[in-house]
Every structure is written in C-alpha cells, then in structure tokens.
Amino acid sequence: MLKLKKLLKENRGFIVFIVLMSIFRSAIADYNTVPSGSMLPTIIPGDRIGIDKLAYDIKLPFINYSIMQLNEPERGDIVVFESKAADLRMVKRVIGTPGDIIELVDNQLIINNVPVSYKQTNTHTSKSVEQLPNKTHAIQIKGFSDLTTFAAIKVPADHLLVMGDNRNNSADSRVYGFIPRQEVIGRANRVVVSLDYDDNYLPRSDRFWKPLL
C-alpha cells in the first residue's frame, strides 16, 4: 500500500493529465479511424476524422448519456454513432430527420415529395454532386447493389435516416433501419490525418485538416 501511494504521488501530474485527456476525448472531442470505403469520395480508407462531441449534446464522460441537448442533427451532417443494430461504431450522412418522408428510386433521392438534384462532376467517373435542401456534397455510385430503391418511409420521432456517400457500397439505414437519436456520439467535422494503406501507411499530406462540412 505504501509503495502504491508513493507511486501515485510521484506520478500525480501524469495521472491527472491522463484523466483530463480521457474526459476530453470522451465528452468534448475525439478522433475516429475510418477503415472502409462506405463514405467515398468524402472520406477515404485511412482517414482519421475529428469528432465534435459537443455538436449536439453535453454528455456525461465515459458513457453516451446526454444531460443536455444543444442542437439536433441536420440533413447533410456526417454523424458518428454507436449502432446497436450493427454492433459497431459507424460514420454516415444524415439524409432524413424526424418527420421527413424519404424515398429512393434507382439511387434518386426524393425528400418530402421533392426529387433531389444531381450534377455529374465528370462523365467518365462514378462521382456526382448531390444537392440536398440544406447541403451539397459529393457521392459515388459504382458497381451493382440491391439497395438502390426503397419505398417512401417516414422518419419517426427521435430517429434519423442515414446513408453512406458510396451509395452502392454502404450498410446504413437501408440495412439496419432508422438510427435512434441517443446513439449519436457527435458530428464529424474534418479529416485530422490520413494514412495510405496501399502505400506503406505513408501520410496523405493533402488531406491533413481537410474540412468535411
């Protein structure tokens, strides 16, 4: 016991630093590695994205429990959430908020009976720009999928409909259903650092601190 007390006393500053850093990462801001391509072209495998954990709620440290709601996720936001249905942390874009009626027909979004506009960035690529009512962003439609169409559905209260920007290669609300609001951890705001998995994990300097909003 005496040795433990001495150890704690000698390392008090370091222990306080670790505790404060843990609280900061748990309740204020953190980063998350993205290993998959479900958010291409916006987020690419190897990106480490910054998470603003005060974007929507003030939460108790170390548990995802909100003690005060500050804002609600908006259509077009990129949210990070702990999905119980998928049993993993996920990063997706908000497409539908409570009360919205969402339909998808051959990868054409229809929100509240209004078709979303698209602009192809290059006729030789699979990328295009999706013009949501509140936010414009890039998407990728590549390959074949059985997720390209679903009938009109209404987003229930305290839930979100989310999708990946890589529309034909994303397991999102089309697979796991609506996302409960309380599962949302925060909003992804920028790429902090990015490592190229295919090039010996070398850093991609052009993506450092790149905004996602």
The 10s digit of each residue's pLDDT in 23-48 is 767 778 788 889 899 999 999 999 99
Across the range 78-82, mean pLDDT stands at: 97
Q: What's the domain count of the chain?
A: 1
Task: Write down the pLDDT at residue 24.
Answer: 66
Centre a 10 Å sphere on the Cβ of residue 140 and count the other Cβ atoms it contains. 21
Cβ contacts of 126-132, under 8 Å, gap ≥ 24: 127/41, 132/75, 132/76, 132/95
Most confident of 29-33, 119-123, 152-156: 152-156
Estimate to the nearest angstrom the gap between the alpha carbon of 113 and the chain centroid: 26
Which two tokens mark 200? 């010996």
103 DSSP β-pair partners: 110
Q: What are phi and psi of 152, to 5 degrees?
A: -60, 130
Q: What phi-psi label fits residue 174: left (phi over 0), alpha (psi between -120 and 50 degrees) or beta?
A: alpha
Domain that holds residue 177: 2-211
At 134, the pLDDT band (50, 70, 90 cuts) reads confident
The domain spanning residue 78 has which CATH number? 2.10.109.10
Q: Among 97, 12, 75, 25, which Cα is nearest to 54's?
A: 25
| Residues 6+ positions from 36 with CB-CB distance below 8 Å | 45
Yes or no: say if 73 and 187 are a contact pair by the CB < 8 Å rule. Answer: yes
At 120, the pLDDT band (50, 70, 90 cuts) reads confident
